[in-house]
Structure 1
Amino acid sequence: MLLTELETSIMTHPTPVREAARLVAIEAARAYVANIRPIDLTNCGVLVGHLMGAETLLMEIVAAHDEPTGAAA
């Protein structure tokens, strides 16, 4: 739900390539969340791994929604 709201609320320069990048980033995050199994909360390594994976996906979503700069526009 949050990803859908993010997807629809930050559509600034909808070009086919940017749309595709946005959809790929959001679908990757959805797939990541769907594949998370019960996590052993006592295993710090697993927790850190999940946090790093989630952070990377969030950075990709932000990058896909960033405004293009002068040369990239």
Structure 2
Amino acid sequence: MNNTNNQTRIPALSERGTFTVAQLAQSLNLSTRSIYRLVKRDLLRPSRAVRKLIFTRWEVERFLEETSATITSSVI
């Protein structure tokens, strides 16, 4: 896994352990609606230990790795 690439894209990623929907949307420069759509499409998997959707740093890193690989392969 290439952590330096992810950390360059989201500097706060290494500083946070978890993200709320609003925090993740701000970090990824997306709307909260887009985050909910990603969850609905099962591209982003939140922790459901509490009532609110919480995303772990590892889940965000996994999502970024998978989506960057998809984007790269579709460009080539």
TM range (shorter): 0.3 to 0.5
TM-score of the two chains, using structure 1 as the length reference: 0.34
TM-score of the two chains, using structure 2 as the length reference: 0.33
Structure showing greater relative contact order (alpha-carbon pairs closer than 8 Å, 6 or more residues apart): 1
Which of the two has greater strand per residue?
2
